[in-house]
């Protein structure tokens, strides 16, 4: 199953009722900095989070401070998500960090001393997001 999945609306999140759902409003995340602000608040990142892609990668691959073992990152209003971010490469880097983090959690072994978790990224679909995902070669599941 792909790490990126589409859900049409908040009501479609019922499939994820047993997940901690971190909600990112694309209207309020039109730049990477705004996205970092929202995700750090939603997932209660530690104070040492540095609001950049490297720090995001580290935080998403840790999550030890969250009691939930199933976490869904839900990004709504993707028609405007990162719309003020000028660099397409930076948008792709963010998507790559999210994709790799979700994939890495699939392979965590309790013997490594890390509690396994399920981490998925849910998007409200939009033409602009689908275009970006397709252009960058990301795989996604349509749950709509």
The CATH number for 4-142, chosen from 3.30.370.10, 1.10.510.10, 3.30.565.10, 3.40.640.10, is 3.30.370.10
Of the pLDDT bands very low, low, confident and very high (cuts 50, 70, 90), residue 93 is very high
Of the pLDDT bands very low, low, confident and very high (cuts 50, 70, 90), residue 8 is confident
What's the pTM? 0.91
Query: How many other C-beta atoms are found inside a 10 Å radius of the C-beta of residue 80?
Result: 16
- Structural domain spans, the chain: 4-142
Q: Taking residues 24-38, what's their average pLDDT?
A: 97
Non-local CB neighbours of 63 within 8 Å, separated by 6+ positions: 43, 71, 117, 119
Q: Taking residues 74-78, what's their average pLDDT?
A: 96
What is the predicted pLDDT for the residue at 83?
96
Q: Taking residues 66-92, what's their average pLDDT?
A: 94
């Amino acid at each position: 199953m792909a790490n990126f999945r589409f859900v049409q609306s908040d009501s479609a999140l019922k499939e994820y009722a047993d997940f901690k759902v971190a909600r990112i409003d694309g209207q309020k995340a039109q730049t990477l900095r705004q996205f970092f602000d929202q995700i750090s608040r939603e997932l209660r990142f530690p104070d040492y989070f540095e609001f950049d892609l490297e720090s995001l990668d580290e935080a998403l691959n840790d999550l030890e401070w969250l009691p939930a073992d199933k976490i869904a990152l839900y990004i709504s209003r993707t028609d405007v998500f990162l719309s003020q971010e000028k660099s397409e490469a930076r948008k792709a880097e963010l998507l790559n960090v999210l994709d790799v983090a979700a994939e890495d959690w699939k392979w965590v072994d309790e013997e490594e001393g890390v509690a396994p978790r399920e981490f998925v990224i849910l998007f409200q679909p939009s033409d602009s997001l689908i275009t970006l995902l397709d252009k960058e070669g990301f795989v996604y599941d349509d749950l709509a």
